[in-house]
Amino acid sequence: MIGILQWTTLAVCGVVTLARIPSALRGENRSLFSIFALATLAILLSIDGPYLVVDRALGGLNIANLVLRFVIFAAIFFLGLRVARGFSADDALRLITGPIGIGVAAAASAAVVAVFLLMDTSGSSAGMTGIFAKDPRNAALVEYYGAAGRLYPAYVTAALFPAMLRTFRSRFPALVRSSAALMALGTVGICLSLLSPVIPPSLGILRYVFNYTAALCLILGLALIWLAKVLAQRAQKKQSVLTRW
């Protein structure tokens, strides 16, 4: 079940990234391509098999997990910029690029690095589950580490949440509205994943469900807007008649 969710998310991300290569080569919206590419890399690094390969190559100290955190931060930052500009959300743009946004990014980064250094990180394991199992001290640190890593994505998407709802309730084309709804759902997923530490172990599967549905919703949402644009441009070519009064 978790495996299916993980690999589906990776497949969707990978396909969208590949599909954007031609337009990226033409120079259209390259930063969107980089968002998709970073997201693909992040999902790849969060799955057991690929993670172990990469991390062992990096020395088996779970440095790949630290890299993963910053890949997510970068992807979320660029996504936030694009969505805020696209949805004309000046308030969200200020929250992301203003002093508060930079402050949150810096604090989250510092916390992630600091907690990482405090942990005994030897022994590759995806999601740091091996470190969690070592002893209570390391287990607590892994929770803090995870919380710090989820803080920034939650901040950025929450800042965009009102704009997503606004777009969803507007009179834009149906595909744009569905995409806003998907992204809002992704935001809810990311914010729910903040609750990870208090989710009882018996419901541990929920952690994965929140994380991957959130990623899937954000990626699909972005891809839908792209699809909407392609369709709209095709329709525009067909009919260039003035609206009748």
Partner 1 sequence: MPISAKAFQDWLHQAAPSASTADICRISGIKRTTLAQQLVRGKVTETTVVSISRALGLSPLAALASFEQFAELASPAPPPTPAELVSQVATMDLLRVVISRSSPVQGGDGEEGGSVLPALSPAPHATSVRNWVDAVDDGELRHRVSAATGVAPQNYSAQLTANRLSPELAFATARAAGVGLTGGLVATGLITEDEAGWPPGAKQSALEALSNGELTALAGERLQALGKSLRRQEQEQAQTEKIWEHLG
173 part of the interface to partner 1, by CB under 8 A = yes
With respect to partner 1, which residue has the nearer C-beta, 32 or 115? 32
Residue 53 and residue 45: Cα distance in Å, rounded? 9
In the complex with partner 1, the residue whose CB is nearer, 14 or 86, is 86
Contact partners, residue 143, CB within 8 Å, separation at least 6: 196, 197
Q: Phi-psi region for residue 157, left (φ > 0), alpha (ψ -120 to 50) or beta? A: alpha
Does residue number 228 form part of the binding site for partner 1 (CB under 8 A)? yes
Closest approach, Cβ 135 to partner 1, in A, equals 46
- Write the burial class of residue 92 (CB in 10 Å: 0-12 exposed, 13-18 middle, 19+ buried): buried
Q: What residue type is assigned to position 155 of the chain? A: Y
Dist. CA 3–CA 120, nearest whole Å: 27
Q: How far is the CB of 72 from partner 1 (least distance, A)?
A: 20
Size of site (CB under 8 A) for partner 1? 23
243 binds partner 1 (CB under 8 A): yes
Q: Which of these, 160, 33, 157, lies nearest to 85 by C-alpha position?
A: 160
What is the end-to-end Cα distance of the chain in Å, rounded? 55
- Residue 32 makes contact with partner 1 by CB under 8 A: yes
Q: Which is nearer to partner 1, 142 or 176 (CB)?
A: 176
Cα–Cα distance, 158 to 231 (Å, whole number): 29
Token digits for 200?
Answer: 């009882």
Nearer to partner 1 among residue 83 and residue 184 (C-beta): 83
List 53, 100, 102, 230, residue binding partner 1 (CB under 8 A): 230
Q: Site for partner 1 (CB under 8 A): which residue of 26, 237, 238, 244? A: 244
* From candidates 77, 87, 132, 145, binder to partner 1 by CB under 8 A: 87
Regarding 172 and contact with partner 1 (CB under 8 A), the answer is yes
Residue of the chain from 86, 123, 130, 162 that contacts partner 1 (CB under 8 A): 86
